[in-house]
Amino acid sequence: MKNFNQLPWKNAIALGIIATISTGAINILPLKAQSPTQPSSTTPTASSSKRDYQQIYSLSGQKNDVNFLKFSANGQTLVSHSPGEAIKLWNLKTGKLVRTLNEKVYAAGVVAITPDAQTLITVDRKAQANDKTIKVWNLKTNKLLRTLNGHSQQVTHLTISPDGQTLVSVGDDKKVLVWNIKTGKLLHTINPQSTPTFSIALSPNGQLFATGGGDNVEQKNTTNDTSIKLWDIKTGKLLGTLEGHTSLISSIAIAPDGQTLVSVADSIKIWNLRTKQLLHTIPAGSGSISISADSQKLVTTSWDNSVKVWNLRTGTLVKTLFEASINDQTLGRLYTSSIAFSPDGKTLAIGSGGGLSGFGISVLRGSF
């Protein structure tokens, strides 16, 4: 994988920063609860249009880009992660930090957490020889459950099925591996395309997953594969291919109803998964995307620090939550780095990145 600093920075935001993870046991240390902090001067500026939502918390404490946000299945816990730092769990009833992992033992990089927030899956990055190894941890007992070996090069992305039973991992070896989380059994090995896979998404019913990749540098490459491929998760069979992007596919998301797929590259494209037809193209890129629980809305972050909500059915702009706030001084140093909808679609968490951002998390509640 190319050095992060060599990537086009807009793609780099979407791909996330790969940090390090130490070996050994995990200790979850209960911390003194922290009160929600007030928004800093670098918090994105809310849209001047009529608002039917409000910011309920501004969570602070990260020292790097907030590149991972995930709600628990009941929506009461928010999990956040910044590269090289401990994973943090926030109570969204109080806005307080209630648990963190021991930073000295466990500075995570590539992570995934089951929907019940009970199982953590990570990749060891502190020792180069171990960056191919996937580890499964029990968050209640702090114990290592199993180690998964299958990749021959660095693991770059992990994702877990909505039922918490299946893990899909991808790496620089251009392989996609499908695992049973409970047993650690390798179910399938897939070589999807000629270029590394950077984005994956699993369907809500756990029956298929999508992969996207491409060349991670801006150069002409006639062999560059920028298609999206759909796979049967049980058999590993190729179900179809979506063609249309011309550059690296940095993000893929499948709507909760399983009918729609959204992909991000040189533009944002909305696809019908059943017919495999392109429905809409939004002529803009995005650093991070999330789809509402009712599968009606798509929220996107952008390189200019704006956050927008789109109608997933029509591809039209619904509202702007945060206006653009980029100038010559802040370009590349202030941006929204991650975003996530709660399961009920009424809460939105937005992580910030860049040296001027403060690395905070804005938690909004209301109608989007």
DSSP 5: G
pLDDT grade for 332, boundaries at 50, 70 and 90:
low
> What is the full DSSP assignment across 172-201?
TTS-EEEEETTT--EEEEE---SS-EEEEE
CB-facing half-sphere around the CA of 288: CA atoms within 13 A: 25
Q: State mean pLDDT over 326-349.
A: 83
| pLDDT number for residue 196 | 74
Per-residue tokens: 352 = 């910030």
At 229-269, the pLDDT tens digits run 999 988 888 999 999 998 888 889 999 999 999 999 989 99
pTM of the model: 0.79
> Phi-psi bin for 355: left (phi > 0), alpha (psi -120 to 50), beta?
alpha
Instruction: Determine whether 269 is exposed, middle or buried from the number of CB atoms within 10 Å of its CB (0-12, 13-18, 19+).
Output: buried
- The pLDDT score that the predictor gives to residue 64 is 86
How far apart, in whole angstroms, are the C-alpha atoms of residue 131 and residue 108? Answer: 12
CATH classification at residue 22: 2.130.10.10
- Total of domains in the chain: 1
> In the chain, pLDDT over 70 holds for what percent of residues?
76
Cβ-contact 362, 39 below 8 angstroms: yes
What's the rounded Cα separation, in Å, for the pair 208 and 308? 28
Domain residue limits at 106? 4-366
Which is it for the CA torsion 226, 227, 230, 231, positive or negative? negative
Angle, CA of 21, 139 and 33, to the nearest 5° = 90
Which two three-digit tokens encode residue 232?
Answer: 């049967």
* Residues 176 and 192: beta-carbon distance below 8 Å: yes
Lowest model confidence (mean pLDDT) among 6-20, 63-77, 265-279: 6-20
Distance CA 101, CA 115 (A): 18
User: How does pLDDT run across 185-239, given as a tens digit for each residue?
Assistant: 999 888 765 667 888 999 999 889 999 877 655 444 445 778 899 999 888 889 9
pLDDT tens figures, 92-112: 999 999 888 755 444 456 788
Query: What is the CB neighbour count within 10 angstroms for residue 40?
Result: 14
- The two beta strands, 208-213 and 228-232, are antiparallel
Closest CA to 63 of 363, 273, 367, 353: 353
Q: Which residue has the higher pLDDT, 84 or 27?
A: 84
As a whole number of angstroms, the longest Cα–Cα distance in the chain is: 55
In terms of residues, how long is the chain? 368
- pLDDT over 70 at 24, yes or no: no
Q: Report strand pairing: 96-101 vs 176-180.
A: unpaired
> What is the rounded end-to-end Cα distance, in angstroms, of the chain?
37
pLDDT of res. 109: 60
Tens of pLDDT along 156-192? 889 999 889 999 998 888 889 999 999 999 998 887 6
The pLDDT tens digits of the residues spanning 82-95 come to: 877 778 889 999 99
pLDDT score, position 268: 95
